[in-house]
Structure 1
Amino acid sequence: MLNRRRFIAGTGATVAGAVTASTGVGANEAETAGEANGDRNERATVIAHRGFADTYPENTVGAFELAVQGGSDDAADRRGADWIELDVFPTCDGEIAVFHDSDLGDLTDTEGVLYETPASEVFDAEVLESGETVPSLEEAMEVIPPNVGVNIDIKEGSPDVQFGRVDDPEAEREDWEWLETVVDVATSYDNELLFSTFWEGALATVLDIDSDLPAAYLLYDSIQEGLDVTDEYDTEAVNPPLEMIYGTPFFDDETYEEIDLVDEAHARDLPVNVWTINTWYEVEQLIDAGVDGLFLDYSEIVRWGGLQS
């Protein structure tokens, strides 16, 4: 793993034009990635949050198809995604759905808890009156080009799993068995991957399935706790919220410890990918603070800084 200006969100993921460092991806691999992806700028990785969720109907095949279209420079007329972020749940009969909420009712024309609903109903549910339906993980992966990374955000598949840290992750192992299917599907494609989650039980299960899989813990209520999990599981990235980035106008000093998370992550040779960014000003402040990746709902907000550089 390499840190800032390698613009990676998982093991081995690179973009062209990156400077080769002494650890992580070697020069030949970086050169190969460069040939595949074309020239890219050196600002930050653009990660399409749910396929640019406020631009297209989130977590749909149509969103993913459109999110990857465009140039790879921030100043391009249309900025395409370097990575796609998507969310996964199991259906009650073991299929893997790409969707963010456990409740289908808020975003689709179908009612019910997703993991209690059969695949036939889940995959027929229309998202936000868009004409797009909830896709399977396989359908989503099919339309994401192999040179675009995929950040798979793991949601809960049972009411019995505990959010955040748990005393005994192994005790939840049975409730996370569906992740074996997620791993099987995702790793059958050539995309770079990052498995991320708020649930320690899910993180432990992914790495139990294969300890070499690139994974990350999603930080939420404590910077130190997030770093502790990062160290304990030897994860491949640090994915915090905007308000955790010390030294920016957005840092919430009433909620979070006064820890420079970017420095801490880079000292570990880990990239910092921040969620969720919605203005050009946030983009510029975060890049100045040294972050490596930006989860965006709109790709256009990187354009201002791209034109200035």
Structure 2
Amino acid sequence: MLNRRRFLAGTGAAAVGAAAASGSASARAADEAGRDDRKDRATVIAHRGFADTYPENTVAAFEQSVQGGSDDAADRRGADWIELDVFPTCDGEIAVFHDTELGELTDTDGVLYETPASEVFAAEVLESGQTVPSLTEAMEAIPSNVGVNIDIKEGSPDVEFGRIDDPEAEREEWEWLETVVDVATDYDNELLLSTFWEGALATVRDIDPDVPAAYLLYDSIQEGLDVTDKYDAEGVNPPLDMIYGTPFFDDEAYEEIDVVAEAHARDLPVNVWTINTWYEVEQLIEAGVDGLFLDYSEIVRWGGLQS
């Protein structure tokens, strides 16, 4: 059986999250023994640094997201992994931000990849006093025992979303990913580079085949599995409504394929986005998923208290 607490990168190691740094001897012992069901339910992934709790994709959000223990029933549940998004600036720096346009979330207008780093990194996020960080600043803020899922966004209007016929034709447009890989691999965190863009996935494989990577599923389960197989990916990251056998499965949009079973047959973890209620958490854990992308961590607590 797949260990649902394994690292997303498929190493088989237990994801200890922030508990080891919490100073609780009993929490550490339970993690090491692997006998506490409340800690063995699913990997908690802070989506943009728990985006409904803190100003998303900021250094402060990442610092706060890892605070707490790895016990789902704890008063404060810390992240085992952090998910963040990356874009290039027009002068080659790597910014941690989700939207192509800066204006929705910051006090600065413009397309991110057409804007110089000096302006991007000065932009205030959601009137929080926090500014858009660089990837280096983000990695510095995340403890080494917390995994990092780097979600690659487009760095050019000339790349095609999703699966494409000739990924190599886009190679030049994705050259900035060399900087992403260089920065991320300079740290000791477990990594998973994920993306909706096949051209980006192909480029990551060209740059460093040893960097764990995953294709983000979106409109076809079979196509997502095909791309996963093509690039020998280390994870399967589907949306909530792709999980067969749950109340959320959309049988009008997707093939009747059990993506959890298919992923586990490949010995790959399944990490589901984006979860917003305790009920979704419990149904997904029951379905056997391995990781949960959460906007706030407290929704795992109900099930933890029932264990």
Equivalent in the alignment of 1:266: 264
Equivalent residues in 2 for 1:34-183 (5 A)?
41-183=39-181
C-alpha deviation, 1:10, in angstroms: 1.1
- Alignment-mate amino acid for residue 7 of structure 1: R
Q: Distance in 2 between matches of 1:181 and 1:3?
A: 33
Q: CA RMSD in A?
A: 1.8
Q: Distance in 2 between matches of 1:80 and 1:100?
A: 22
Aligned length: 292
Do the aligned partners of 1:4 and 1:291 also contact (CA within 8 Å) in 2? no
Per-residue displacement from partner, 1:247-273 (whole Å, max 9, x unpaired)?
000000000000000000000000000
C-alpha deviation, 1:218, in angstroms: 0.1
**1:226 is paired with a residue of what secondary structure?**
helix
Q: Distance in 1 between matches of 2:237 and 2:63?
A: 24
Q: Distance in 1 between matches of 2:204 and 2:58?
A: 24
Q: Distance in 2 between matches of 1:16 and 1:112?
A: 38
Q: Distance in 1 between matches of 2:3 and 2:111?
A: 40
- Alignment-mate amino acid for residue 9 of structure 1: L
- Alignment-mate amino acid for residue 263 of structure 2: A
Q: Distance in 2 between matches of 1:127 and 1:15?
A: 34
Q: Distance in 1 between matches of 2:306 and 2:210?
A: 40
Do the aligned partners of 1:12 and 1:192 also contact (CA within 8 Å) in 2? no
Equivalent in the alignment of 1:296: 294
The alignment's TM-score, normalised by the length of structure 1, stands at 0.92
**2:108 is paired with a residue of what secondary structure?**
coil
Equivalent in the alignment of 2:8: 9
Per-residue displacement from partner, 1:46-70 (whole Å, max 9, x unpaired)?
0000000000000000000000000
**Residues 233 and 101 of structure 1: CA distance in aligned 2, closer, same or farther (over 3 Å):** same
Equivalent in the alignment of 1:25: none
Equivalent in the alignment of 1:277: 275
C-alpha deviation, 1:212, in angstroms: 1.2
Uncovered stretches (5+) of structure 1, i.e. residues with no partner? 18-30
Q: Distance in 1 between matches of 2:169 and 2:104?
A: 32
- Alignment-mate amino acid for residue 177 of structure 2: L
**Residues 180 and 13 of structure 1: CA distance in aligned 2, closer, same or farther (over 3 Å):** farther
C-alpha deviation, 1:3, in angstroms: 2.8
Equivalent in the alignment of 1:28: none
Q: Distance in 2 between matches of 1:85 and 1:4?
A: 21
Do the aligned partners of 2:43 and 2:292 also contact (CA within 8 Å) in 1? yes
Do the aligned partners of 2:7 and 2:14 also contact (CA within 8 Å) in 1? yes
**Residues 188 and 300 of structure 1: CA distance in aligned 2, closer, same or farther (over 3 Å):** same
Per-residue displacement from partner, 1:150-190 (whole Å, max 9, x unpaired)?
00000000000000011100000000000000000000000
Do the aligned partners of 2:90 and 2:117 also contact (CA within 8 Å) in 1? yes
**1:171 is paired with a residue of what secondary structure?**
helix
C-alpha deviation, 1:11, in angstroms: 3.6
Equivalent in the alignment of 1:26: none
**2:151 is paired with a residue of what secondary structure?**
strand
- Alignment-mate amino acid for residue 190 of structure 1: D
Q: Distance in 2 between matches of 1:82 and 1:270?
A: 18
Say whether residues 1:257 and 2:250 are aligned partners.
no
**2:140 is paired with a residue of what secondary structure?**
helix
C-alpha deviation, 1:8, in angstroms: 2.4
Per-residue displacement from partner, 1:233-290 (whole Å, max 9, x unpaired)?
1000000000000000000000000000000000000000000000000000000000
C-alpha deviation, 1:16, in angstroms: 5.7
Q: 2:232 aligns with which of 225, 228, 234?
A: 234
C-alpha deviation, 1:13, in angstroms: 6.3
Q: Distance in 1 between matches of 2:15 and 2:147?
A: 13
After TM superposition, where is structure 1 displaced by more than 4 Å over at least 4 residues in a row?
none
- Alignment-mate amino acid for residue 214 of structure 1: P
